[in-house]
Amino acid sequence: MHSVLNKLFLIILLCFGILHCKQPNETRKGFVEVADKSKIEYQIQGSGDTTLFFIHGWCINKEYWSNQFDYFSKKYTVIAIDLPGSGASSKERSDWDFNQYANDIHEVISQLHLKKVILIGHSMSGDIILKADNLFPESMIGLIGIDNLHSPTGPIDSAEHAQAVAYFDHMEKDFDSTVIKEAKANLFQASTPDSIVQRVMKDILTTNHKLAVDILRALFEISRTEKLMESKLAHTLCLVNSDVNPVQMDSLVKYCAKGVKVYTVHATGHYPMIERPLEFNVALQKAIWKQ
C-alpha cells in the first residue's frame, strides 16, 4: 500500500510539473536598462537561431506585432520592444535624438545576447534601423523597413527648415485636430477596418502631446540624413510596404550601398501588419529569406 501511494504521489508531482512548467514557445517579458537609465520593456518568444527584432512606429507599441509572434516564433526567436516614450517603457528622456534610439537597439541586442539579428522597423523606425546599421553593423545580419523609406531624403534649405519648425510648433498647440486631419489623409485607406482606425487614433491621441511632437522633431532631423545613411549601409535594405504609395526604386538603388529589395502588401493603410496580417507575414517571410 505504501509503495502504491508513493507511486501515486510521484505521478501527481509529475503532472503538476508538466502543467506548470514553461511552455517552449511561450512569450516572456522583461526590461532592459540602457545607458541613460531608461527602462525598455521587451517581449520575446521562440528559440530559433535567427532573431527577428521588431520595432514599432510613432505613438504605437510592441503589441502591434502580435500577429507576427505566433507565426514566426515557430522557426525564429522573435522579440519586440516598446521604444522609450511608448508603451510600458520609460518616458522621462529629455532628448529624443534618433542616435539614442539606435543605441537602445544595440543595448537590447547586447544585454539579451541576441544572435543573427534582423532588424524590422515600422514607419519612423525605418530611420532607426538605418542608423543602427551605420553605427553597429556587426550587431545584425539584415534590416527590413515596414511601410517606410519610399524614397531617400536629404538636406533642405533654411526656409524649408523654418517651415517645418513652425508646423511642429502649431502641432504641439493644436495636437488633436492636427493629428485627426493628417491621419485621415496619410495613415488609412477607405478599406481600413474601423476597429484599426480607432485603435491607432486612440494610441496617438492618448500619447503625451509634447513627447509625441518632440519625437517627430527628432525624426524630421534624422530624415534629412537618409541619403547619407543609406550610402553607408552594410546590409541590403529590404522593404515590405503597402503598394498604395510606390517606392522610388531609382533613387533607392542610387543611394543604398548594398542594394534594395521591395515586397508589397496590397492596398492597405500604414499598418499592413495588423490590416492584412496573413498577406503581410508571407511578404515579410520573403524579405527575411533575402537576408
- Identify the pLDDT of residue 109: 98
Q: Give residue-wise pLDDT tens across range 74-99.
A: 999 999 999 999 999 999 998 899 99
CB 134 within 8 A of CB 105: no
- Identify the pLDDT of residue 62: 98
pLDDT confidence bin for 14, thresholds 50/70/90: very low
Question: For residue 20, is pLDDT > 90?
Answer: no
- Identify the pLDDT of residue 13: 41
Q: Give residue-wise pLDDT tens across range 176-230.
A: 999 999 988 899 999 999 999 999 999 999 999 999 999 999 999 999 999 999 9
Return the C-alpha cell found at 214: 518632440
> Can you give the pTM of this predicted structure?
0.91
